[in-house]
A and B are shown apart, each in its own frame.
Chain A
């Protein structure tokens, strides 16, 4: 009895997980592709086959392209800022000081806090008439801003929230990378009288390049997929000025219940994320082998 179990262990052990994956994940993915080729209305049995019509419709739609460019803008800004900030945090934590473990835990809290809840706090802080952020701007002599109510500032403001959430993630991975660097190049540079600044750009950054690549790609994947904070804070507004691809896809499929066209948008959006992740898999092969 145990002999049979042992012999078939490599199949039996992953079987429940594989069945769940097939039912909850693979089947829905295939079904999404299938629905995207139909004009699909809830409650009706027969659906008209439209082939690639929805894809053509999306690619000819200005609102789709607007969402695509905003996604790109949001992602580039968020990735650049969160990786830069994460690097500063990692360099700080890589030094020995009392309370370092507590500082690290404090930095991790935004990463685990409920996005819907923290989005509300940011809404309160962004509030033009009673928000603490305008008060801070006033303290340093800057004019008040309307933050997420301004179509030009809504994306940078949302990026601020995303950076607050996910710079700690960049920090974690970069810190692990920093700790794995050998000490000897730094010691000899020190003897040669190099400054910290020189050592950072000439030694740390080049040696961290593989880890940096992983962080950049991972942050890209996460930034492309931001939904909660945008939906809660602006729902894509004002107008469409913060409607990213994720929000656009949600609106089409679940707000307007145009499941066929919505699915096509979802497939296009998913393809973008999948392309970013394939970059990661290639990079990972180079880093860890």
Chain B
């Protein structure tokens, strides 16, 4: 019995180790390669132990306006999340409280359909309105996936807040809108944080929309890194440095809110 328990434990930890290696290795390899010289990154067999250099990062920032790419990505993501929350929170609230199933179904379908389903008309309209190559236009287009995301994560969250709390506020002379602002929203802070972070990540990571609607003044980070592959002869160290710069803020943000992350990632999917 105890021999079986020992072998069981060994199997358990071996599986855990293999899984952790599989899921963390590519990220680790990205960071390691970013700190290698061009000779080391192209060495075969791969080098595991080396003196780290910051040269790749210095090159990426010196040869490209990388700070302006970071600024573009941030502006688009922050604007899309701000508008997404402002419009999405009240909608999610009435969706949860008044069982507006038609509206819920609409946002569910929009969330599920592929982005390209919206992009031909948007491309045509943006061209005639001069919104191609504009950060505002890009941020607006990101609402296509940010708004349904906010609404679905938050509708699930609002449903779990007991109605009695709002009713108590109503009895105390608060209006319904007032109860939403003063009672429901403060109680929903963890949900709002999760929705905001998830939307920020979705916008920061998005590639297809900027590929179609972007231009030289709206180069966001995914677009910048993608164009490094196609236009320069492949400088792996530099590419990995750029990839690290994109990924680190996202990973840091995820670690910061890891308490809410799992809930937020599943909430929109399973609940509602």
Binding site for B on A (CB under 8 A): 2-3, 5-6, 9-10, 12-14, 16-18, 20-21, 24-29, 31-32, 35, 42, 88-89, 92, 95, 97, 101, 103-118, 120-125, 129-130, 132, 135, 164, 168-169, 172-173, 176, 196, 214, 218, 221, 224-225, 227-228, 231-232, 246, 249-250, 253-254, 259, 262-263, 266-267, 269-270, 273-274, 277, 280-281, 288
> Which residues 171-190 of B sit at the A interface, judged by CB distance below 8 A?
175-178, 180
Are A108 and B88 neighbours in the complex by a CB distance under 8 Å?
A: no
- Checking B87, B98, B222, B255 against A117 with a beta-carbon cut-off of 8 angstroms, the contacting residue is B222
| A117 x B42 contact (CB < 8 A) | no
- Choice from A13, A97, A169 contacting B94 with Cβ under 8 Å: A13
Are A10's CB and B118's CB within 8 A? no
Count the B residues whose beta carbon is within 8 Å of the partner chain — how many?
Answer: 95
**Docked complex Cα distance between A32 and B108 (Å):** 19
Which residues from B are CB-within-8-Å of A196? 8
User: Is the pair B205, A115 in contact by a Cβ cutoff of 8 Å?
Assistant: yes
Which residues of A sit under 8 angstroms from B117, Cβ to Cβ?
Answer: 28-29, 32, 266-267, 269-270
Taking a contact as CB atoms under 8 Å apart, the answer to whether A103 and B221 are in contact is no
Contacts A92-B16, A120-B229 given; 20 further ones with Cβ under 8 A?
Answer: A29-B117, A29-B118, A32-B117, A35-B121, A88-B15, A92-B19, A105-B258, A108-B254, A108-B258, A112-B251, A114-B205, A114-B246, A114-B250, A117-B243, A121-B33, A125-B29, A196-B8, A232-B229, A246-B114, A270-B113
Assess A101 versus B19: contact at CB under 8 Å? Given A114-B205, A116-B226, A129-B44. no
Smallest CB gap from A121: residue in B: B30
Q: How far is the CB of A285 from chain B (nearest CB, A)?
A: 11
How long is the Cα–Cα vector from A125 to B48 in the complex, in angstroms?
14
* B45 close to A (CB within 8 Å): yes
Q: Are B44 and A135 in contact (CB-based, < 8 A)?
A: yes
CB distance from A274 to the nearest CB of B (A): 7
Residues of B within 8 A of A104 (CB): 262
Please report whether the interface of chain A is mostly helix, strand, loop or mixed according to DSSP.
Answer: helix
Q: Which residues 217-272 in B have Cβ within 8 Å of A in the complex?
A: 221-222, 225-226, 229, 236, 239-240, 242-244, 246-247, 250-251, 254-255, 258, 261-262, 265-266, 269-271
Per-residue contact bits, chain B 182-218, to A (CB 8 Å; 1 contact, 0 not): 0000000000000000000100110110011000000
CA distance A112 to B204 in the complex (A): 10
Chain A residues near B262 (CB-CB < 8 A): 104, 108, 172
Chain A contacts for B41, CB-based, 8 A: 130
A32 CB contacts on chain B under 8 angstroms: 117-118, 120-121
Residues of A within 8 A of B180 (CB): 13
Q: Does B162 contact A (CB under 8 A)?
A: no
